[in-house]
A and B are shown apart, each in its own frame.
Chain A
């Protein structure tokens, strides 16, 4: 049907009354004119009228046919279907409510997880034509490819004209201050080429981005704030433009506020402002990262020219890179450490900060899908039961001339209406829960943020899922309703005459529900087990009493000497505070976001890989790592004194298997330096950086023999509450110096939980999903049992009349229930065991299926079944034989 015809018919549908009046008018006119014409031709008035009347004898049918031409049959039928469905839902509100709620749970779960996965992994950057963006992957002779091509090559590319634009971008923490009186704050700053906003096609929310001068290559200290930072720190004040802020004490002018949707090209990273990189060769002392050093390697993003494809650009890029290697004066590249530069699609930005959440989120997506399937089974089951009860209605309609397709369409309309209502409600659920999901995100010295607004992608997903499930679970009852024979249903009035195979099918549905929910519960058990197995030991001595404060005295502002001095003064002051048991500094500390790896060796042997950290005296006791032998660092281990190290037992096992480790020499390679350390102590193995890997060799160095960079203060408190402690420690920081930021304030226990964020998220949510599926299974079970009891009313009545005791009736009902649950449980156990192998392959370090967990889950299942059984069983026992038989 052409579109034009469509709109015409629609318009007619709306102005139907008007049309009828018009037609009436028009035909009356025709009649009168005809009469007049006949009169004029010589007939008498009466004769003319009779003649005209004769010609118009099929007046009504003319009108009907004219109207028929306009009818919009399927739309009118659809409206009738919808009306009919709504009416029938109103008649059985309990059914409609249960169905909609079941679906809302299933769709809501799926939609929540989808929104999260989409925000974290799948959504392209909110910039203009993101598909044109490309990133660079630098292939080296050794090691993994890196993101950043050398700055000198980027400026060569900017002139080469292969791309519509090339821009550099990198992130770093900066100390931010707005006025001199308050403490400096930490912010994440994005350091970008002046053309950044142009290349990405971002329209700033306020201001014009960087000024024309800056964009043309003349640098000026300008900053563009992120929308969220502007809202939070400046209260959304539009007069903020032109004000001065201090970044690492250097004054910058605020020239703009970025658009609300863009959070930078690092996925998930909460950048707070953007500042321009200096032109090549220039630098300012306060901010190392923005210096125009042609040797540094920052992340880069380029926009392909319109119509150009990746392969073309790659060819041109290869030629440019060959030329770069030939002409560069930088010895590092002349040695061809870098082999080639490859272009990769950049529509999604860089995912370094979110890649850890990929596996947990996808596991959750699968689990949510299972919940949705269970919900669908539930509703299909309910619809089948309803269909059986309505067999009479359908038979009557069929005998009155409704075709099977018409009936099927009516049923499909009902199920789609249910699923759309469920989808709408699910969206409300999803809106609530998406925020809760991000409560699991670990916030460290690097803060993460995601745009979780339900956008058109989430809406489309939710409603297509709703529509799809509606059709899926609606087809079955539709098929059922149209397959029965009309005559047999109309003849007998008892529901017992509905075909047995539908009942059998419903039982299979319930069994599948039981199986799925059991599998989900067991999976939840496995995940919980995994979390508790991964939870690192070694910090067990009351980790919630250890307070952590991370600080960053910028090395551009504070000299090595000054940083050492500030740190030791701080330690001194805090250790004298009442309520403090012990205090220490560590460069990284356990289970934070930062880690270091070194090559360590016995002199003259092959080096091995070991992780490392730098700490002050008292660190092991403060954190709760047990010392095995030797001594702790002490204040005499300082700059100039002989270098000393403390190692863990793993390292001893690997390097000094049968010897006394104390006093041995250990060579540690740090950058280009290789220095010899004397081992003075041994501590137990702990999961220090990555809880997912077994504790490996580890070496600690004395912080006073180097200089701290971004150290964390560990304070073990003797007080019962941390709330009072935090401001008092912060006051000590202020007393020492206000020029550097203190951030990421939490307890050691928080760090332990954060290190398991992904696993905890999966464990908690799969538990919730399991319980939801269990509830759905209970509803399904109740449905089929209630139906079965009502179907067998007469049978039970006869049995009771013949002397059956309530106990045996009860047993009859219970037997059916436990047969279903039993077979479902067996299937669920099999599914869980079969699925376990691929899952444990996918998730590292998964605990095995514990028999106790499985047994507990099955018991839970049985208990739920018992609850679902109660009402139908009682009803069965209360059947009055007389009434049951008279009912026939």
Chain B
């Protein structure tokens, strides 16, 4: 979900995705290459992402991932589900 979210604004390459998540979480979350690439590939197979080769900011050949239509839909669905769960947890934490 976080990977999908980080791609919402536009295509990014693998390292940038990890970077984006780390920055957004203020270093709270570290996405390791060991779990990032399998996850990216699983989403490619499902057709949520597509990948294209392009040039990175420092002119290196890099693979840019972007959301497909189904990917966008998936992100929406997952975000909604996530918010529901968080809200529920918050409610429980507040009352009990």
Contacts and interface: CB of A to CB of B under 8 A. Distances in A.
Q: Say whether A and B bind each other.
A: yes
Interface residues of A, number: 29
B14 A70 contact: no
Interface stretch (B59-67, B72-80, B81-89): B59-67
Given A33-B15, A62-B37, A66-B38, A26 B45 contact: no
B14 A30 contact: yes
Interface stretch (A2-10, A181-189, A239-247): A2-10
B10 interface: no
A66 B37 contact: yes
Contact of A9 (B34, B45, B70): B45
Contact of A69 (B18, B32, B45): B45
A635 to B, nearest CB: 94
B8 interface: no
Contacts of A33: 15
B44 A8 contact: yes
User: Which among B34, B47, B61 has the highest number of chain A CB atoms within 10 Å?
Assistant: B34
Main secondary structure of the interface of B (DSSP, over half): helix
A66 B41 contact: yes
A56 B33 CA distance: 7
A68 interface: yes
A68 B38 contact: yes
Contacts of A61: 34
A631 B71 CA distance: 101
A55 interface: yes
Contacts of A63: 37
A2 B68 CA distance: 15
A70 B60 contact: no
Contacts of B47: 2, 4-5, 8
Contacts of B18: 30
Given A5-B46, A29-B13, A55-B33, A69 B38 contact: yes
Interface string A1-37: 0101100110010000000001101110111011001
Contact of A70 (B33, B41, B61, B62): B41
B41 A26 contact: no
A504 interface: no
Task: Please report whether the interface of chain A is mostly helix, strand, loop or mixed according to DSSP.
Answer: helix
Nearest to A7: B47
A30 B56 CA distance: 11
B15 A29 contact: yes
A67 B45 CA distance: 11
A31 B56 CA distance: 14
A26 B62 contact: yes
B15, B40, B61, most chain A CB atoms within 10 A? B15
Given A30-B33, A55-B33, A25 B61 contact: yes
A855 B54 CA distance: 85
B56 A62 contact: no
A31 B33 CA distance: 9
A66 B33 CA distance: 11
A23 B37 contact: yes
B33 A62 contact: yes
Interface string A765-801: 0000000000000000000000000000000000000
A8 B15 CA distance: 24
Given A5-B46, A22-B63, A62-B34, A29 B14 contact: yes
B14 A65 contact: no
A27 B33 contact: yes
Nearest to A23: B37
B32 to A, nearest CB: 6
Contacts of A25: 61, 63
A67 B56 CA distance: 24
Interface in B12-62: 13-15, 18-19, 32-34, 37-38, 40-42, 44-47, 56, 60-62
Contact of A26 (B32, B34, B37): B37
15 contacts: A8-B44, A9-B45, A12-B45, A22-B63, A26-B37, A26-B62, A27-B14, A29-B60, A34-B15, A55-B33, A61-B34, A62-B33, A68-B38, A69-B45, A70-B45
Instruction: Give 8 closest A-B pairs by Cβ, nearest first.
Output: A65-B38, A69-B41, A69-B42, A66-B41, A33-B15, A4-B47, A62-B34, A30-B15
Given A26-B62, A65-B37, A68-B38, 9 more contacts: A8-B45, A9-B45, A12-B45, A27-B37, A30-B33, A34-B15, A34-B33, A61-B34, A70-B44
